Amino acid sequence: MYTKSKALFEQAGKVIPGGVNSPVRAFRSVGGTPVFMQHAKGAYLYDEDGNRYIDYINSWGPMILGHAYEPVVKAIQEYATYSTSFGAPTKLEVEVAELIVSMVPNIDMVRMVNSGTEACMSALRLARGFTGRNKVIKFEGNYHGHADSFLVSAGSGVATLGIQAVPGVTAAVADDTLSAPYNNLPAVEQLIAEHPDQIAAIIVEPVAGNMGCILPQPGFLEGLRTLCDTHGILFIMDEVMTGFRLARGGAQELFGIRADLVTFGKIIGGGMPVGAFAGRREIMEHIAPAGKVYQAGTLSGNPVAMIAGYTLLKTLQEHPAIYTQLEEKTNRLVAGLRETFGAAGIVYQVNHIGSMMSVHFAEYPIIDFTAASGANNELFKRFFHAMLERGVYLPPSAFESWFVCQALTQEDIEFTINAARSAMQAIK
């Protein structure tokens, strides 16, 4: 079934560390050989062996309208004939920035970068430069990319691989990175009290997507906002996953919470390598060349990525019903899975919000990284492979969110539910 994928993985291991260019792709968390994809269309992935899968990864979020969305593909093809990179400003960069500012609350200015990692790294540097402070508070299991500061108590691939301390991250960097359990306001209050006037920023995934899909408890985000206002700390929302996916204005719009800085990822490039950070004018004007906090990038605002993102975001702006339809599809999938797991006598939790969700085999609510780590992740491994064999591609880790796309049909959802029913019968 995976003959070509197995051969390619063996070949890749000779020239690529671990055989993959991003660790979670290696299937270390679930075992087995990673599947090498050849092409994708709509809600489906097709591997090198010709197998088709219903896709619940969506390139880790940005394919909200489905793979190879025709208007985006056509726009990319047209702009690629102009040049794939200028290294100079373009009108399109201005238009994308204006579009983002018009859609997202509480931001005046946007700086384009090349990835979510770079966006979060730059936002943190800006927060330190703006406040004159060095320390930052992050949350256990939240993943903000692989910059040194963010690999302390990180989620996603670090959690998947069970890496507790990352070689190469210096003690000084680790000392400036304070970590608290997600959804635990008293722990944040204690860190602030222990480090008065030293904390530049609190950075958080407003909905955690890198230890499963974990929602903020009532009052958590509001409490963080209040603490930041009280102590002169900048509040950074990492919306690399939630931005433009949970609502046109992201989590800020959905929860009605104001961030000082917000970061975005590949959805603003229609799935191409891109990121951005944004915020109030008084903060953003500290970035060079307007200010002294330096950040630069030759490929920032890449024209091909910009037209792909502009085309996708404009569609989301003009068709708000997409979000209602996505939520309805997710709700049906969640209901079907709950019915399936319940009938099988399996203890489970299904977390979901909008078009994000995750499955945890546990008898208690999954509200933080400790809870996610204590679930029956061995059962998840068997469930993952049983679903893969039945043509459903899930994130290859219990510590990742699932994503639902608009191209998914009701037939696809029912197929997934039936596949889960069959999978449960096979692995019990």
Residues annotated catalytic, as ranges = 143, 238, 266
For residue 340, what pLDDT is reported? Answer: 97
Q: Examine the pLDDT at 169 and tell me if it is beyond 90.
A: no
- CATH number, domain of 354, equals 3.90.1150.10
Per-residue pLDDT averaged across 45-56, rounded?
97
Per-residue pLDDT averaged across 310-332, rounded?
98
User: Could you read off the pLDDT of 262-279 as tens digits, one per residue?
Assistant: 999 999 999 999 999 999
The answer to whether residues 196 and 240 belong to one domain is yes
Q: Are 160 and 28 in contact (CB under 8 A)?
A: yes
Among the candidates 300, 318, 336, a domain finishes at 318
For residue 165, what pLDDT is reported? Answer: 54
The answer to whether residues 89 and 58 belong to one domain is no
Give the closest residue to 206 by CA, choosing from 236, 231, 186: 236
Among the candidates 318, 349, 383, a domain finishes at 318
Residue with tokens 């671990």: 18
Q: Examine the pLDDT at 296 and tell me if it is beyond 50.
A: yes
Which residues constitute the domain of residue 294? 70-318
- CATH number, domain of 255, equals 3.40.640.10
The answer to whether residues 39 and 128 belong to one domain is no
Among the candidates 285, 318, 351, a domain finishes at 318
Per-residue pLDDT averaged across 80-109, rounded?
97
The answer to whether residues 306 and 324 belong to one domain is no
For residue 1, what pLDDT is reported? Answer: 76
Mark out the alpha helices in 152-279 (DSSP H runs): 157-160, 171-175, 185-194, 220-231, 250-255
The answer to whether residues 193 and 75 belong to one domain is yes
Q: In angstroms, rounded to a whole number, what is the distance separating the alpha carbons of residues 165 and 152?
A: 7
The answer to whether residues 314 and 324 belong to one domain is no
Confidence label for 155 from pLDDT (cuts 50, 70 and 90): very low
Residues whose CB falls within 8 Å of the CB of residue 265, separated by 6 or more in sequence, listed in order: 61, 62, 115, 116, 119, 240, 241, 243, 274, 275
Q: Report the 3 state secondary structure along the chain.
A: CCHHHHHHHHHHCCCCHHHCCCHHHHCCCCCCCCCCEEEEEECEEEECCCCEEEECCCCCCCCCCCECCHHHHHHHHHHHCCCCCCCCCCHHHHHHHHHHHHHCCCCCEEEEECCHHHHHHHHHHHHHHHHCCCEEEEECCCCCCCCHHHHCCCCCHHHHCCCCCCCCCCHHHHHCEEEECCCCHHHHHHHHHHCCCCEEEEEECCCECCCCCECCCCCHHHHHHHHHHHHCCEEEEECCCCCCCCCCCHHHHHHCCCCCEEEECHHHHCCCCCEEEEECHHHHCCECCCCCECCCCCCCCCHHHHHHHHHHHHHHHHCCHHHHHHHHHHHHHHHHHHHHHHHCCCCCEEEEECCEEEEECCCCCCCCHHHHHCCCHHHHHHHHHHHHHCCEECCCCCCCCEECCCCCCHHHHHHHHHHHHHHHHHHC
Residues whose CB falls within 8 Å of the CB of residue 141, separated by 6 or more in sequence, listed in order: 153, 154, 155, 159, 182, 208, 210, 211, 214, 368, 369, 372, 399
User: Could you read off the pLDDT of 207-227 as tens digits, one per residue?
Assistant: 999 999 999 999 999 999 999
Q: Examine the pLDDT at 166 and tell me if it is beyond 70.
A: no
Which pair of structure tokens corresponds to residue 266? 């590949």
State the helix-helix crossing angle for 303-318 and 70-80, rounded to 10 degrees. Answer: 150
The answer to whether residues 199 and 295 belong to one domain is yes
179: Cα within 13 Å, side-chain hemisphere: 17
Q: Examine the pLDDT at 161 and tell me if it is beyond 70.
A: no
User: Could you read off the pLDDT of 122-142 as tens digits, one per residue?
Assistant: 999 999 999 999 999 999 999
User: Could you read off the pLDDT of 335-388 as tens digits, one per residue?
Assistant: 999 999 999 999 999 999 999 999 999 999 999 999 999 999 999 999 999 999
The answer to whether residues 352 and 388 belong to one domain is yes
Q: Examine the pLDDT at 329 and tell me if it is beyond 90.
A: yes
Per-residue pLDDT averaged across 167-194, rounded?
89
Q: Tell me how many domains the chain contains.
A: 2
The answer to whether residues 407 and 313 belong to one domain is no
Query: What is the average pLDDT value for the chain, to the nearest integer?
Result: 94
The answer to whether residues 284 and 391 belong to one domain is no
The answer to whether residues 58 and 93 belong to one domain is no
For residue 153, what pLDDT is reported? Answer: 60
Q: Could you give the angle at the alpha carbon of 420 between the alpha carbons of 418 and 426, nearest 5°?
A: 110
The answer to whether residues 76 and 191 belong to one domain is yes
**Dihedrals phi, psi of 395, to nearest 5 degrees:** -55, 130
Confidence label for 7 from pLDDT (cuts 50, 70 and 90): very high
